A and B are shown apart, each in its own frame.
Chain A
């Protein structure tokens, strides 16, 4: 197992008054657990505010987790600091959603790609150009980009630069935080194909975070569905998408627009908005919008349980 997350939580305190006393918490990530194997893509899917991006950043300790454990290659990384953490970070990299704002606008592409080598003391000044060229080649960019600045490139090209940067240190795991959401359809296809090719060629694993179920289904081996800081369902991608169990997953899938003219279409339109993570509903967080909610659901919070078919779902009534 490459990555194992156990009961990860990330709370953001809400403070009031001059003494900034904590009056509550935004429970962005509220106890999630999953594993990612070598050469596996786990899709993490959910809508705005469900905590998926926060989860991704917490795994890399870009945000410090509130509690829970994160093991990478069986090593607990929560207790690492300083040089050990820096060394560990070579194994896990990140690609961000907005390609342009994730690149330093004052650095040339060459400098951006050289930075990981400089920070980690890899190679020499003489051989870095060759390393950089190899990265550019991998992501399908011409060598003449090295002296140009990010603003001179399109969204798709910037994302390729971001991917090249993530590959520089030969990581085993890449957290891809909505990597194609800001891209046009035809460019999105290019980047998705590139990421699949890299996964196969370089034996990479991805935590692929997105709100777009169609994209996630295409690239993922398994999918975890998040709602209000918790995982409500997790299983093989194909099964989660064709035979969803949790009512939220069913609703989500029923309203994903697909580019075909459907003759009959049963859509589950959820009422209301997602509740606030600073004040989640009692019991099951989904009960306020659930079509099959019972009285018990308002009071008792269900566990994520594996059923006899090997599927994990957080609902006792499916």
Chain B
């Protein structure tokens, strides 16, 4: 069996805050294979962005701290790399795109300069070579008039175009893995459709692996090969997209899918998962979903492991119903 491109093994990340230690990510393991799109799904505070940032060692430490685990990229542990080593990977083998392009693009540099930056850093191109490649990249991401856009500043472009510039930057050094942290959340739905179509094409052409972070279950259904559902820093369920949507097993996943309004008009009340997220500085023993779960029993006072449902699906729950 070929080695996974990215293997996150038992990753734990915590933050020291004034209110106590926040265990943002707790013993999370997942894999991304070449050419695969893995969606990391969950609501605010579940630890998905922290997991994504950890893949490129972008967690500020302090106040953050990687308290356990490994992140293997092509077999090498990223967490053990020094600054020089990780810099050769960032923007090169692993690239990242963020949610809000306006705040993640530098407002005082032209788009062309920012795209060329990675090329000059990693591919030793001259200024001229890098600028030409920048124009070609803007063409690939379907920005009209790329020769003009390359001289413009982020504020002169619309949200959709800025996101395409970010994608061009991310693709510039032909990364093997693209980490996309909520890349379409801030975009209108018609622009989101354009960006998702673009990402699908690029992924296809380059056999690129994608780790896609989002809270939008609709987007996940459209693009995911595999899905990992996070709750309060731990994995609740994982599986192929079809497993999760057609046969969800964890009560949280089921609750989440039932609480999303859809276009099929129904007069039924939306299902509501009762209660709220537990306090991340003070998790109680056992399953973190206990208080909000309609299946909980005393057994759930110990942390459930991920139980295998099928070859492709597993869920961390003692009370998985048989289908």
Show the binding face of A for B, using Cβ within 8 Å. Answer: 47-48, 154, 156, 184-190, 192-193, 196, 211, 213-215, 217-218, 237-238, 241-242, 251-253, 255-262, 265, 267, 269-274
Contact A269 B256 (CB under 8 A): no
Q: How far is the CB of A159 from chain B (nearest CB, A)?
A: 13
Bound form: Cα–Cα A271–B191 in Å? 9
Distance A276 CA – B273 CA, assembled complex (angstroms): 41
* Minimum Cβ distance to chain A for residue B255 (Å): 7
A80 to B23, CA, bound (A): 56
Question: Knowing A47-B189, A48-B159, A273-B161 touch, does A215 contact B261 (C-beta < 8 A)?
Answer: yes
The verdict on A47 contacting B188 (CB below 8 Å), with A154-B276, A192-B270 known, is yes
Residues in chain A near residue B215, CB distance under 8 A: 184-185
Which residue of chain B is the closest to A49 with respect to CB atoms? B188
Chain B residues whose CB sits within 8 angstroms of the CB of A272 once the complex forms: 144
Interface size on B, residues (CB 8 A): 43
Contact B245 A258 (CB under 8 A): no
Does B298 interact with chain A (Cβ within 8 Å)? no
Would you call B262 and A261 a contact (CB within 8 A)? no
Identify which of B29-37, B148-156, B217-225, B308-316 touches chain A: B217-225
8 contacts between A and B (CB under 8 A): A184-B215, A189-B259, A193-B269, A213-B189, A252-B190, A255-B189, A257-B192, A259-B220
Query: Are B246 and A261 neighbours in the complex by a CB distance under 8 Å?
Result: yes
Q: Is B216 an interface residue (CB 8 A)?
A: yes
Selected contact of A269 from candidates B193, B257, B263, B266, CB within 8 Å = B193
Find out whether the CB atom of B216 lies under 8 angstroms from the CB atom of A257: yes
Which chain B residue shows the least CB distance to A213?
A: B263
A218→B264 CA distance, assembly (Å) = 9
Identify 8 new A-B residue pairs, CB closer than 8 A, beyond the known A214-B260, A267-B197. A189-B260, A237-B265, A242-B263, A259-B218, A259-B260, A261-B221, A261-B246, A267-B193
Minimum CB distance partner of B144 in chain A: A272
Contact A185 B189 (CB under 8 A): no
CB 8 Å contact bits of B197-215 with A (1 = contact, 0 = none): 1000000000000000001
| B262 pairs with A214, CB closer than 8 A | yes
Interface residues of B in 233-252 (CB under 8 A from A): 241-242, 245-246
Which residue on B lies nearest to A259, using beta carbons? B217
**B257 and A255 contacting across the interface, CB-CB below 8 Å:** no
Residue of A nearest to B44 (CB): A184
Q: Given the complex of chains A and B, what is the CA–CA distance between A117 and B270 in angstroms?
A: 33
Nearest residue (CB) in B for A239 is: B265
Q: Do B188 and A261 touch (CB < 8 A)?
A: no
In the assembled complex, the Cα of A242 lies from the Cα of B220 at a distance in Å of 23
B201 to A: closest C-beta gap in Å? 11
Q: Indicate whether B91 reaches chain A with its CB closer than 8 angstroms.
A: no
Query: Are B192 and A217 in touch, CB under 8 angstroms?
Result: no
Q: How far is the CA of A188 from the CA of B192 in the complex (A)?
A: 21
Distance from A271 Cβ to chain B, minimum over Cβ atoms (Å): 8
Please measure, in the bound complex, the distance between the C-alpha atom of A259 and the C-alpha atom of B227, giving whole angstroms: 13
Name B191's closest neighbour in chain A (CB-CB): A273
CA distance A233 to B273 in the complex (A): 35
Q: Which of B161, B260, B266, B276 contacts A185 (CB 8 A)?
A: B260
**Candidates B221, B242, B276; contact of A259 at CB < 8 Å:** B221
